[in-house]
Amino acid sequence: LFARGAEFLKGVVAMDGLPPGDRAEVCFAGRSNVGKSSLINALTGRKGLARASNTPGRTQEINFFTLGESHYIVDLPGYGYANAPLPVVEKWQRLLKQYLSGRANLRRAFVLIDARHGIKSVDEDILSRLDQSAVTFQAVLTKADKIKPSERDKVLDQVRTKLATHPAAYPEIVLTSAEKGDGITELRTIIAGLG
Ligand code: GTP
Ligand code: MG
């Protein structure tokens, strides 16, 4: 599937801009700066496909990418970025909730969690939303290259414990590094299996 290539399709700022739900879809959600765009670039093997940056809140639209002829990959705006003006934050939160609640072809949401920090209270909103919408979500730890194995195991325990309280959570956690390539093959296989 990934060998068939990925292309940017469109950035969406309102529900009526969503492309038709005619392909299997997976989305990437997570705090600002957690590494969503970088992970999409690593998965697709295209460095500049989803923009990645040092400035939190860089991705401000729901960005759709086509993957082969059968899938959409969706890069969601990051949440928990305190410096954005409140009306902007509220607009994105509303759009995010609408999208996550009403997308029939959405097969799985990957919720990205910084491997150094684990699940934080800002993540809980979206996890509850996914529970309510019965969208299966899978936790993906990012920036694995930045932690020691002992730290990693502690965070994995924390994430496992939290996931157990969410009915929509898929139990398997994927550990990734967009920088070093850890977990990329595994994640590609998971996505390809979500037909
Ligand atoms: P928003 O679009 O603002 O929500 O951010 P994002 O979640 O898309 O994060 P982005 O991919 O832009 O990455 C944020 C920063 O983290 C960038 O400086 C990346 O280079 C860095 N980063 C992302 N993934 C990794 C990783 O696996 N390892 C390391 N060391 N840094 C990473
Ligand atoms: Mg981004």
Ligand 1 atom at shortest distance from the alpha carbon of 53: 12
Write out the two tokens for 97: 């909730």
Nearest ligand to the C-alpha atom of residue 178: 1
Cα distances (Å, whole numbers) of residue 158 to 96, 110, 118, 180: 26, 17, 7, 24
Nearest ligand to the C-alpha atom of residue 184: 1
Round to whole Å and give the CA distance between 185 and 182: 8
Write out the two tokens for 133: 């919408």
Q: Which CATH superfamily is domain 2-192 in?
A: P-loop containing nucleotide triphosphate hydrolases (3.40.50.300)
Query: Which tens digit of pLDDT belongs to each residue from 117-148?
Result: 999 999 999 999 999 999 999 999 999 999 99
Query: Which tens digit of pLDDT belongs to each residue from 77-90?
Result: 888 876 777 887 78
Contact (Cβ atoms closer than 8 angstroms) between residue 106 and residue 26:
yes
Contact (Cβ atoms closer than 8 angstroms) between residue 187 and residue 177:
no
Query: Atom 13 of ligand 1 has which residue's CA nearest to it?
Result: 35
Q: Which of 82, 64, 158, 77 is nearest to 120 (CA)?
A: 158
pTM: 0.95
Pocket of ligand 1 (CB under 6 A): 30, 32-38, 52-54, 56-59, 78, 142-143, 145-146, 177-179
Domain regions of the chain by residue span: 2-192
For the ranges 47-51, 97-101, 138-142, 151-155, the lowest mean pLDDT is seen at 47-51
Q: How many A from CA of 51 to the centre of ligand 2?
A: 6
Whether residue 6 has pLDDT greater than 90: yes
